[in-house]
Amino acid sequence: MPALRTLLKPSWKNRTAGSLPFDPNSLPWGAAYLADVANVDDPAAIGVFNDISGNGKHATQTSTPAKPVLDTTTNLINGHPVVHYDGTEDIHLTPLGYLNPLGEIWVVGRINGIGNNGHIIGSASTSVKLCHMADAATLQYNNNNVAVSKANSLGVAFAARIGLYHSSNNPSTHPSLLDVNNSGAPVTNTGNGVNQQLVLGSWGAWGVYTNCDIAEVRYSPSRLGASDVASMWGYINARYAL
């Protein structure tokens, strides 16, 4: 007969979502970038922003003047470091050249300047903008400059879950904005998907840079399930108070 402690062992599968500490790295990300001194090659001039998903999709920059810095003391997000892009020429390029139209991107950051529409992430295409600000109070998420959510102000940290899709998909079932700051109000609009290199700190078109801070960016090649989405928002709230 098995020992009594074995019979009384709790069934973790029956625990409700969020009742146990959640590790976002337990999800099957295609790539994940977290601002931390352990995840960059040189905090003073980041040439390699490591992909912590284990897939080796590191974001890189070889030109010294274009290397952002890791801010661990000043403009933090709820006490956590950020990678700071100066808006002059700082940019990180990832090897993510094709993003699944049924995938999604999570970004936690802050847009500090709206020059060139303030693009915190985008693609190497000159026609695709993933997350940007056209004015001091409106976040935008597609390539048609359509304002879809007045979610925060310039210089204020935010978290966004952004769906990816191609124009051949129905935008009513594949919205580009899935949620902002866990508002729970998806917004649909039209636009193109991303089939070119994902970039951080810029729209991606050369000469278009943004003064911004990135705490983390995560790409999933498929839509996360409801319980995983809830766990991610719980993690973001606990870590960043967003």
Task: Give residue-wise pLDDT tens across range 44-100.
Answer: 999 999 999 999 999 999 999 999 999 999 999 999 999 999 988 899 989 887 676
Q: Is the pLDDT of residue 111 over 60?
A: yes
Higher-scoring residue by pLDDT: 54, 105: 54
Q: What is the pTM of this model?
A: 0.80
Closest among 73, 69, 89 to 81, alpha carbons compared:
73
Which element (helix H / strand E) includes 39?
A: none
Q: For residues 150 and 40, which has the higher predicted lDDT (pLDDT)? A: 40
Above 50 in pLDDT, residue 239?
A: yes
Whether residue 11 is predicted with pLDDT greater than 50 in this model: the reply is no
From 92, 91, 98, select the one nearest 60 (Cα to Cα): 92
Sequence ranges of the domains in the chain: 30-240
CA-based nearest residue to 93, from 206, 196, 164, 197: 197
Residues 76, 88: Cα–Cα separation, whole Å: 20
For 93, the token pair is: 């390029």
**CB 18 within 8 Å of CB 234:** yes
Q: Which pLDDT band, with edges at 50, 70 and 90, does 146 fall under?
A: very low
Q: What span, in angstroms and rounded, lies between the C-alpha atoms of 115 and 119?
A: 9
For residues 214 and 121, what is the distance between their CA atoms, to the nearest angstrom?
A: 9
- Dihedrals φ, ψ of 228, to 5°? -70, -35
- The better pLDDT of the pair 182, 228 is held by 228
Say whether domain 30-240 belongs to CATH 3.50.50.100: no
